[in-house]
Amino acid sequence: MAKVKETSKKQEEIVPNEPEIVTTKSAMDKTGEDSVETVVRKKLTSLYTLQLIDAQVDKIRNIRGELPLEVQDLEDEIAGLETRIAKFNQEIAELNMEITNKQNSIKESKELVIKYEAQQMNVRNNREYDSLSKEIEYQSLEMQLAEKKIKEFEVTIQTKNEVLAISDQELEERRKDLEVKNSELKDIVEETRKEEEHLKEKSALQEVNIDERLLSAYKRIRENARNGLAVVPVERDACGGCFNKIPPQRQLDIRLNKKIIVCEYCGRILVDGEIIEDITI
């Protein structure tokens, strides 16, 4: 990061390799009177106020806990079961169609056997008789094979129907669970909706008081932080976010409010306790 040296009201000199967010003099240009300390203090006050508001929004969302994720998981599970059931029903329908085809095949073979047996009564020589006998034998084998296939298909259908019944029961249970979870989530959302909307409005209004560069840094840090804290106080000589010790000289720099400083370990913006005491939301 970089350190700013004041040269004039419209120029900046940036010194690299400092773990800080460089401030601009836009606020000083507007008034022509504010000191660097006053400008930085205002920026930190606005940032920490925004952090407090956003933290309350996070708290409301935490009240919902894992319910939104549980609802999503149940919806995904239900969709999977419905797909599975549809696939089983399609396979069963195809097997039933195969059974119908085999039954028609058996019927045709029986008709051919009757036909060939009738022809055997009128043969003129042994060769014709033997030929018809082979056809009758072939059709008999075809009937046996078809009957065997029908039995296999029926066993497969029975197995799939058993699995289908279990899947249907699971689907019904998951739907009931989803109904309960959705009801719980709806109640919680309804209870906190107005408060959350009010806080979001306050957050949007507060963002107007922060210049675009700092606001982008704040949002980026907040997204990367596990607890959503982008601006933290110095507590017991340590960062209020990652709890790593802060050197005495850096603590002094934070108290002097001459520049916006971030924690060299976690990257969160650090503020002095005096600023926190003056903030009310």
**pLDDT of res. 64:** 75
Judge whether 205 lies within some domain: no
**What average pLDDT score do residues 190-196 get?**
81
Judge whether 200 lies within some domain: no
pTM for the full model? 0.52
Dihedral angle of Cα 259, 264, 266, 269, to the nearest 10 degrees: -10
What band does 161 get if pLDDT is binned at 50, 70 and 90? Answer: very high
Note whether 184 and 223 are same-domain residues.
no
For residue 32, pLDDT beyond 50:
no
**What average pLDDT score do residues 30-48 get?**
77
Judge whether 171 lies within some domain: yes
**What average pLDDT score do residues 218-222 get?**
92
In terms of pLDDT, which residue wins out, 26 or 192? Answer: 192
**pLDDT of res. 1:** 37
What band does 21 get if pLDDT is binned at 50, 70 and 90? Answer: low
CA-based angle 44:220:240, to the nearest 5? 50
**pLDDT of res. 16:** 33
Q: Tell me, what amino acid is at 4?
A: V
Number of domains in the chain: 2
For residue 28, pLDDT beyond 50:
no
Stretch among 2-16, 123-137, 263-277 having the lowest mean pLDDT = 2-16
For residue 17, pLDDT beyond 50:
no
**What average pLDDT score do residues 75-89 get?**
96
**pLDDT of res. 7:** 35
Note whether 218 and 240 are same-domain residues.
yes
Note whether 180 and 77 are same-domain residues.
yes
Residue that terminates a domain, selected from 163, 195, 227:
195
Note whether 129 and 182 are same-domain residues.
yes
Judge whether 201 lies within some domain: no
Note whether 75 and 191 are same-domain residues.
yes
* CA–CA separation, 2 and 31 (whole Å): 25
**pLDDT of res. 189:** 81
What band does 280 get if pLDDT is binned at 50, 70 and 90? Answer: low
Residue that terminates a domain, selected from 195, 229, 248:
195
Please give the sequence-ordered ranges of beta strands (E in DSSP) within 41-185, or none if there are none. Answer: none
Classified as helix, coil or strand, 235 is strand
**pLDDT of res. 22:** 47
In terms of pLDDT, which residue wins out, 61 or 265? Answer: 265
**pLDDT of res. 8:** 36
For residue 229, pLDDT beyond 80:
yes
Note whether 114 and 188 are same-domain residues.
yes
For residue 133, pLDDT beyond 90:
yes
Domain holding 189, by residue range, is 69-195
In terms of pLDDT, which residue wins out, 274 or 76? Answer: 76
**What average pLDDT score do residues 25-49 get?**
71
Judge whether 203 lies within some domain: no
